[in-house]
Structure 1
């Protein structure tokens, strides 16, 4: 996607009911559309609130966008194409700017790498400490990069460092009783280890019993 600091709204305009893909993605008339100027949390991404508790920001963002377009005709004006040849568009539902609303409500970052359209809107949301700005959270572009490198790490380091609800740090080795059921959330501080010694040195212990 090429930088678009000055919007060129001379592109094609499409109107119709839409299907929500995620917090910044729609499908209109069968065509994938990415909302211009914003980057919302990935669907599986979690964030922290002001108290340090985890919340499903990706799901919340997706649901909020779905609410904004429900039972409404959406009009999208093409601004650009991204590297996957998806249409990047400024979209409105009943005259409401979808991208701007998501950023204003703290459910998406202004994608300043490509546009400064929502820079001021983001600054206001940050000042109010709402949504993603209630705590220090990982932007989705960094989250995606982490997700891309994670598989190679998992192949090399198979010991799961889990943090229980009580805060206990417990590691699980392949073949262990709870290994298959344990899910690792790096956003919560959980991690993978290559050896038991490494896990113990980092403060994790083996499961009891």
Structure 2
């Protein structure tokens, strides 16, 4: 879990809102920026562990100074980024705690898969469930599953 971005971040500010387990609002330069955590996907609110994932993200970031490495925009206009607090990669911490999946479709850094494998082996967080449903499957319409 040692990987951290190579530079301090493209955005620095204070977390003023936690939307769900993988999305925060950062107040930077007097404006609010919605940030979707890169390379991970947390359970949806209505899904098992959704509330725990959101609470864990709040515990790690709310009202704290963060640095965000800007990795582009998603289709909803959110900034996609790697979030750090005091040098700690929060995205990776959530996966290691078993409160988010490594979003394999978008994973660039293998540390996310390694952290997920360790959390699964230890049955941490959502991995305590023998058959956890990934959020991308949960979001898919019932007829398409």
TM-score by length of 1: 0.58
8 A Cα contact 1:37 1:116, kept in partner: yes
Mapped to 2, the partners of 1:102 and 1:23 lie a distance apart of 9
Q: CA deviation at 1:113?
A: 0.3
8 A Cα contact 1:9 1:77, kept in partner: no
Deviation per CA, 1:31-61: give whole Å up to 9, x if none. Answer: 1110011000011212xxxxxxxxxx10010
The alignment status of 1:146 with 2:141, answered yes or no, reads: yes
Mapped to 1, the partners of 2:6 and 2:84 lie a distance apart of 13
TM-score by length of 2: 0.82
- Runs of 4+ in structure 1 off by over 2 angstroms are none
Deviation per CA, 1:95-136: give whole Å up to 9, x if none. Answer: 211100000000000001011421111111111111111121
Q: Considering fraction of residues, name the structure with more strand.
A: 2
Mapped to 2, the partners of 1:32 and 1:72 lie a distance apart of 15
Q: CA deviation at 1:71?
A: 3.8
Task: Report the CA distance shift for 1:71/1:27 in structure 2 as closer, same or farther (over 3 A).
Answer: closer
Q: Hey, what does 2:59 align to over in structure 1?
A: 67
Aligned residues: 131
SS at match of 1:145: coil
8 A Cα contact 1:74 1:93, kept in partner: yes
- Structure number with greater Rg is 1
Mapped to 2, the partners of 1:35 and 1:115 lie a distance apart of 12
Matches within 5 A, 1:93-108: 93-108=85-100
Mapped to 1, the partners of 2:134 and 2:117 lie a distance apart of 15
SS at match of 1:100: helix
Q: Hey, what does 1:84 align to over in structure 2?
A: 76
Q: 1:134 aligns with which of 128, 134, 141?
A: 128
RMSD between superposed Cα atoms in Å: 2.0
Q: 2:20 aligns with which of 19, 22, 30?
A: 22
Task: Report the CA distance shift for 1:116/1:123 in structure 2 as closer, same or farther (over 3 A).
Answer: farther
